[in-house]
Structure 1
Amino acid sequence: MTRIISSFAEVSANYNLALVDLWGCVHNGEVIYPAAEAALIAYRQAGGRVILVTNAPRPEAGVRARLNEMGLSPDAYDAIATSGDAAQTAMLIGAVGTKIWHLGPDKDDGFFTDLPDWAGDYPAIERVSFEDAEGIICTGPFEELTETPEDYRGRFLAAKARGLKLLCANPDIVVDYGETRIYCAGALAQLYDQMGGESLYFGKPHPPIYDLARRHAQNLGLRFAEDRVIAIGDGIQTDIKGGMAEGVDTLFITGGLAADKFGADVETPEQAPLAAWLADEGQAPTYAIGRLR
């Protein structure tokens, strides 16, 4: 049975590496959660290491810059592994062709411009119109605050008829931006799959982003020993499912996307509704906590 804890410090000494989700765990898209920041700083001061593992569809440099803007202390983490980096690698080696239609907001342009040094070893990627595309890179809806996946059904029908593959740079279905719930690239890719199209995924819960996290761990001088790693996040089908698939312990943040499911006090989830909900989701995290603290 999933054990409910009141602070990460209760169990953190059992782990030398924490793989920590960002959105819904460390921030809400607008502000950093002070208690989460403090918990990660304390963990690192005690000798632990933190890799932020995020489904953000942007390279690491862009995510780091945004965290700096939001004021997250650099003492709270050691490295960042992004879905954007994992998906960008797939794009550069030609997973969906070299003529690409970008489905996503302008803020994700860094996916195409902030390229690794080795990108020149492969054919150049060209951003083109939908009509000329060999494949689709999806980083989210064009208008995140207003659009839904259904707005793209017609375009997806045309894409499916042409046999275009869709590379999903963010497998999240939804996130809460402040008080507003918005659709992510994963919701669009899910619709495309349901319509008979083919989507490729590189973020949580899929293996490529964990391979990237392993490389970061090696750079930190750590051996990715499964019994000493914990994955932390609020996405039961991304953060928790992915961590369990990698064979590591998991800490489910109940006060994130599913905050209304576990009783009146967001900070203190109730065991009975939590157990029932987890059974329905088919997941069994090692621990649960209201919010990371």
Structure 2
Amino acid sequence: MSAHPVPIVPGLSAVDTRYTTLFCDVWGVVHNGVACFPAAVEALKRYRAERGATVVLVTNSPRRHRQVTEQLRDLGVEDAAYDAVVTSGDVTREHLLSVGLERVFHIGLTRDEALYEGTGMRLVPAEEAEIVVATGLYDDETETPDDYHDLLAGFAARRLPFVSANPDIVVERGTRMVWCAGALAKLYESFGGEVVQAGKPYPPIYAAARARAATLTGTRPDDGSILAVGDGLPTDVRGGCNEGLDVLFVTGGIHAADFGPHDAPDPKAVATRLERDSLKAVAAVTALRW
């Protein structure tokens, strides 16, 4: 039996008008970590202006939303393209506050340590840690998860909880792939360690996105009115499917090489891959545009 076909549409203008809220991915859809995609920015601006829609950027960035907003501006993403940003960093911070452990061993860039400001938590050496939080690798340009084998094995032996502030395994930065905190979480699990994942495809970040949308509009959006937009099959698409949301799959992102030419993906290959991974999309688009 052949896979159910997925229509490849020209852009957001072609999606059903019932979608009054977008949960839109950021990295790989709106920018590539180096520069924004102007067509994507324009599409989101027009969707807000012409459909009267609410756009919530939902990202697996381990930073707080204020930092991501600043980064978006630096990359050329206009404020008019979205209403709010919800990050896995925000969700991580709320989780850490809820568990009440104070001594944190941090794995990731120094700039990500803003996550702990105002929480009463202290960053401590490995031997003093009560909990491990990974926002990424210390140097994702040169390191791999294997460089953390012994460190993580030691934490797992002590049964320390491990929080991944970014469930992504890899992300495309410009033209190359770099490792993310999700890869460390996967390694930690292989040692039998306890892992909490803060971002997509896990429920907490969608609960935060729904709450943010409700605050913006004064009412909780009906799931049938939400369209999840993203390029990551294990994160954006699976998360949307798990939440019972319709999904617009951006084929030209991290999985582009699997579907043929970036600007002319093979519809059969797209449908087959979605079916193989037990995923669904109401439509696909090569890149986010109007």
Q: Does TM, scored on the shorter chain, surpass 0.5?
A: yes
Q: Which moved more, 1:168-177 or 1:8-17?
A: 8-17
Letter in 2 for 1:69: D
Q: Is the 8 A contact 1:55 1:82 kept in 2?
A: yes
The 5 A counterparts of 1:36-55 are 36-46=40-50, 47-55=52-60
- SS of the aligned residue for 1:111 comes to helix
- The whole-number CA distance in structure 2 between the counterparts of 1:191 and 1:285 is 30
Q: Is the 8 A contact 1:269 1:289 kept in 2?
A: no
Correspondence for 1:138 = 134
- The whole-number CA distance in structure 1 between the counterparts of 2:163 and 2:239 is 19
Q: Which moved more, 1:1-10 or 1:22-31?
A: 1-10
- The whole-number CA distance in structure 1 between the counterparts of 2:275 and 2:53 is 31
Correspondence for 1:98 = 102
- The whole-number CA distance in structure 1 between the counterparts of 2:150 and 2:275 is 36
- SS of the aligned residue for 1:175 comes to strand
- The whole-number CA distance in structure 1 between the counterparts of 2:57 and 2:280 is 22
Q: CA deviation at 1:83?
A: 0.3
Correspondence for 1:258 = 255
Deviations for 1:204-260, whole angstroms, at most 9, x for unmatched residues? 011110111111111111422011100000111111111111111101111111011
- The whole-number CA distance in structure 1 between the counterparts of 2:230 and 2:269 is 19
Match of 2:285 among 282, 286, 289: 289
Match of 1:60 among 62, 65, 75: 65
Q: Percent identity?
A: 39
1:170 and 2:166 correspond: yes
CA RMSD of aligned residues (A): 1.2
Deviations for 1:37-59, whole angstroms, at most 9, x for unmatched residues? 01000000011110000000011
1:191 and 2:187 correspond: yes
Correspondence for 1:225 = 222
- The whole-number CA distance in structure 2 between the counterparts of 1:220 and 1:12 is 22
Letter in 1 for 2:116: F
Q: Is the 8 A contact 2:211 2:220 kept in 1?
A: no
- The whole-number CA distance in structure 2 between the counterparts of 1:70 and 1:12 is 30
Q: Is the 8 A contact 1:12 1:43 kept in 2?
A: no
Q: Which moved more, 1:255-264 or 1:276-285?
A: 276-285
**What's the TM-score, normalizing by structure 1?**
0.94
- The whole-number CA distance in structure 2 between the counterparts of 1:178 and 1:235 is 16
Deviations for 1:27-85, whole angstroms, at most 9, x for unmatched residues? 00010001100100000001111000000001111101111111211110000110000
Q: CA deviation at 1:12?
A: 4.8
1:274 and 2:279 correspond: no
Aligned length: 283
Q: CA deviation at 1:20?
A: 0.3
- The whole-number CA distance in structure 2 between the counterparts of 1:188 and 1:202 is 14
Correspondence for 2:155 = 159
